[in-house]
Amino acid sequence: MLAPRNFKLVSALAWTLLPTSLAALPAGGTTNDSIIHDYVIIGSGAGGGTLAASLARKGHSVFLIEAGGDHGTAPSQQMPALWPTSGEDPEMSWNFYIRYFANETQGRRDSKFSYRLEDGSIYYGLDPPSNATPLGTLYPRGATLGGSSQTNAMNFIKPRSADWDYLAQLTGDESWGASRQWRNTSSAWKEFTTSQKVHRSMVSTSSTNTSDSWLRVLTCSKVNQNNVTYITGRPGTREVMSNLAHEIEGVEVDTEGLGHLLQRDVNGENTYTPGVYQLVVSTSGMRRRPGARDFLVDTANGSAAYQLTISTHSLATQILFDEKDVGEPTAVGVEYLVGEGLYGADKRYNPDQTGTLRRAFASKEVIVAGGAFNTPQILKLSGIGPREELESLGIPVVVDLPAVGKYLQDHTEGIVLVNSSVPWENDPNARCTMTLDETDPCYTEWLESGTGPYGEAAAPLAVSESEQADQFWFGFAGVELRGFYPGYSHPTPQPSVFTWDIVKLHQAGDGDHAKGTDPRDVPEIVFDWLQGDIGERDLDPFVEGAEVAYRAWDAAPAPYTPLTRFQPAEGVDLRQNLKDEAFGHHCSSTCRMGPKGNTDYCVDSELRVNGVKNLRIVDASIFPHTPGAFPVTSVYMLGIRAADIISESAKKQCDLVNF
């Protein structure tokens, strides 16, 4: 492969030249082949960003390569209510078009299925022109400093103990077990265990930005519930929610009682206990997003001289190995292209813009954290993957590792939509103009005090079902949500519509498929879910969830009822429609953790890639199943713990050298 000649000599020279303070740098930074860091990390998202900042804070020098730019101060990244906008912004996001079904006839039954037309524009729907080229269904990812943690809906739910215990059981490494880590006040995850009440006063007044407060903001759930009057102050919505409380908890509640139920802490003792709650949103006290980006910027630009260099607009193209090694290959660096919009999933992509090739070297380790779609692509481009697939593409095999890109998992979401006979009244958004200027009362309120509807995020209502049933539901009155399709971030207001989104946890999938050797090409991503007996079993809770929602709606009094069902429409088969329209956005597991050396798994319990030295993966790819009801909490926790694991193993190596 393309390892540098005389790497060790270059390394020794550059080591002495290492600057003591490296601030965050503009595109590409000033780095070149002669600067070496302890760690080179690809991807600044929930996993890689958290890891990079944490490692730098432990005293290591870190070079972070991120394909996107920094847009952390843009309203669309800071404001909870604008989260959909960041996910479609060409400067902040990548739009993948993926296949939920291998069977294209089935895939095209999705009303969100998209096609490229002859003029280059995109059509989505059930009736494409005959010469349209099928693409698949839109699946957005964040491509900006902080990754998808800057573009996600900020729903913040604790993972289940079972997610961690499964890792411990699978690998035999007890240290992943929930009781050892996540209920342990001296572990890497201690912030996630501390009482919510302690934090409440600390974050309630200002948006602070140090590492400690970043974690505090992330883990302070109670204070970040949405304003309960947005549910209890809306008579129609209140009726539906009270009916749901009756359906799920068997209780009859008045307005006050409903408010009490909704304000229980879903991240406390009740997580995954059947009931009605509000979805918890991770915001600062001023209701700004605390994504991985803030942690990075505070670390790189804060007063302490941490050695974190951030190279934005930098697309990693392959991992570099030490040429002289015999036996196990050793990762020594990363090759990357500097430029904007260089990746095929970027809406600004122009094949003629090829970027500038650069290299960054690591004296200790390379860590890949490009997210569940990009991490396997980077590994395959570097010769780590299923032998047959690599050989068919002419990529020299460095390590035959069949698990790379396989076992893709997600949560499956199903939607049912109904229309009330009258608008759902008291919509808090009604007075907002969405102009985001001084004429917009919601904007000025949010700017000044953080309150108001713009400080609320996606889902004002949440209902979790039992762990056995493996599902989580949430809904909105006055908002039509159908998943992701071109333009999803600009829905027209639908004051009479009520959406229920049924999230089915744990979902089987297929994987990604490299298309070629060009790192700027997007791989073919095929879920092929909801197939066969397992698919039928996965569809059962969808149908069950939809039927509970229908009962709660239909039991509402006039003038809301009679309600009109419009997705699926009256007479359309519910089960089939839920399957056709299903979507996801919590992809994971394409480089899953498992027993060391077992090539049906990608990394061992210390996150090391099987068969390669000095190479680890720290992102959603390593979870054997998508963790929790919303995965970002688990990915942050992974980043924090990975910094401990990696730092510990560096210490061990130093001890050996000193000895």
Ligand X SMILES: *[C@@H]1O[C@H](CO)[C@@H](O)[C@H](O)[C@H]1NC(C)=O
Ligand Y SMILES: Cc1cc2nc3c(=O)[nH]c(=O)nc-3n(C[C@H](O)[C@H](O)[C@H](O)COP(=O)(O)OP(=O)(O)OC[C@H]3O[C@@H](n4cnc5c(N)ncnc54)[C@H](O)[C@@H]3O)c2cc1C
Secondary structure element (H or E) that encloses residue 436, with its range? none
Which member of 28, 29, 72, 87 binds ligand Y (CB under 6 A)?
87
- Residue 635 touching ligand Y (CB under 6 A): yes
Which does residue 594 touch among ligand X, ligand Y, none (CB within 5 to 8 A, set by kind)? none
616 close to 603: Cβ distance less than 8 angstroms: yes
520 close to 342: Cβ distance less than 8 angstroms: yes
42 close to 334: Cβ distance less than 8 angstroms: yes
- How many Cα atoms sit within 13 Å of 426 on the Cβ side? 10
Give the Cβ contact number of residue 27 at 10 Å: 14
- Residue 456 touching ligand X (CB under 6 A): no
Site for ligand Y in 37-66 (CB under 6 A): 42-48, 65-66
Read off the tokens for 41.
């990390």
- Residue 394 CB, nearest approach to ligand X (Å): 30
With CB under 6 A as the contact rule, which of the stretches 248-256, 364-372, 533-541, 568-576 interacts with ligand Y? 364-372
DSSP state letter for 407: S
- Residue 220 touching ligand Y (CB under 6 A): no
Give the Cβ contact number of residue 326 at 10 Å: 5
Query: What gap in Å lies between CA 639 and CA 76, rounded to an integer?
Result: 25
- Residue 590 touching ligand Y (CB under 6 A): no
Secondary structure element (H or E) that encloses residue 469, with its range? none
- Residue 218 touching ligand X (CB under 6 A): no
Which does residue 155 touch among ligand X, ligand Y, none (CB within 5 to 8 A, set by kind)? ligand Y
Site for ligand Y in 144-163 (CB under 6 A): 147-149, 151-155
Which does residue 316 touch among ligand X, ligand Y, none (CB within 5 to 8 A, set by kind)? ligand Y
Which member of 112, 411, 585, 616 binds ligand Y (CB under 6 A)?
585
With CB under 6 A as the contact rule, which of the stretches 228-236, 314-322, 429-437, 489-497 interacts with ligand Y? 314-322
- Residue 204 touching ligand X (CB under 6 A): no
Nearer to ligand Y, 187 or 621 (CB): 621
Residue in the block written with tokens 């009604």: 430
DSSP state letter for 519: T
- Residue 218 CB, nearest approach to ligand Y (Å): 11
Q: Classify 179 as helix, strand or coil.
A: helix
- Residue 227 touching ligand X (CB under 6 A): yes
With CB under 6 A as the contact rule, which of the stretches 25-33, 139-147, 196-204, 355-363 interacts with ligand Y? 139-147
Which member of 21, 103, 270, 466 binds ligand X (CB under 6 A)?
103
56 close to 308: Cβ distance less than 8 angstroms: yes
From the list 532, 534, 530, 527, the residue with the least C-alpha distance to 586 is: 527
Per 3-state DSSP, the chain is made up of helix, strand and coil in percentages (nearest 5) of 30, 20, 45
Secondary structure element (H or E) that encloses residue 462, with its range? strand 461-464
- Residue 312 touching ligand X (CB under 6 A): no
The answer, yes or no, to whether the previous bond of 568 is cis (omega within 30 of 0) is yes
144 close to 49: Cβ distance less than 8 angstroms: no
The contact set with ligand Y (CB under 6 A) reads 42-48, 65-68, 87, 140-143, 147-149, 151-155, 314-316, 369-372, 374, 378, 585-586, 619-620, 630-633, 635
The contact set with ligand X (CB under 6 A) reads 23-24, 32, 34, 70, 103, 105-106, 180, 184, 186-187, 208-209, 227, 229, 233, 297, 301, 419, 451, 496, 564, 566
